[in-house]
């Protein structure tokens, strides 16, 4: 089991960007089954962002399709719907953190 610590990431919407602290919560291949073969379509990464990073003076961050996160290594992740429930993000119990669903679009 891998453990991750929070790290600074750039959260972007269009040309606007802010720096937030986020923790990688999970990483998995997005696979497509075709008969007996499986093809990797991309790598999905879920991020946990604490509520105090979401509730900002300039307004709450509400993820929308197409927003991106970029880590310090320059890897870019696009906010995308979870294939199971169709949601871009979901609050963790007691709304202590928001789980944001992404897919790697550049790097790694």
Other Cβ atoms less than 10 A from the Cβ of 40: the count is: 9
**Where is average pLDDT lowest: 20-24, 34-38, 59-63, 73-77?**
34-38
- Which of 57, 44, 49, 63 shows the shortest CA–CA distance to 20? 49
Per-residue model confidence as pLDDT tens digits over 23-51: 999 888 776 666 776 665 789 999 999 98
Q: How far is it, in rounded angstroms, from Cα 43 to Cα 108?
A: 10
- 93 φ, ψ to 5°? -50, 145
| pTM of the shown model | 0.82
Whether 89 and 101 have beta carbons less than 8 Å apart is answered as yes
Domain borders along the chain are 7-106
| Two tokens, residue 86 | 């169709």
pLDDT confidence bin for 1, thresholds 50/70/90: very low
Q: How far is it, in rounded angstroms, from Cα 88 to Cα 48?
A: 12
């Amino acid at each position: 089991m891998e453990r991750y610590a929070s790290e600074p990431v750039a959260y972007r919407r269009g040309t606007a960007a802010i720096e937030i602290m986020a923790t990688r919560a999970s990483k998995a291949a997005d696979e497509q089954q075709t008969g007996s073969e499986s093809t990797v379509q991309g790598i999905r990464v879920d991020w946990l962002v604490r509520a105090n990073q979401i509730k900002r003076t300039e307004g709450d961050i509400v993820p929308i399709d197409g927003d991106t996160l970029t880590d310090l290594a320059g890897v870019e992740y696009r906010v995308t719907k979870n294939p199971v429930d169709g949601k871009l993000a979901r609050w963790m119990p007691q709304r202590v953190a928001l789980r944001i669903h992404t897919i790697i679009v550049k790097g790694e």
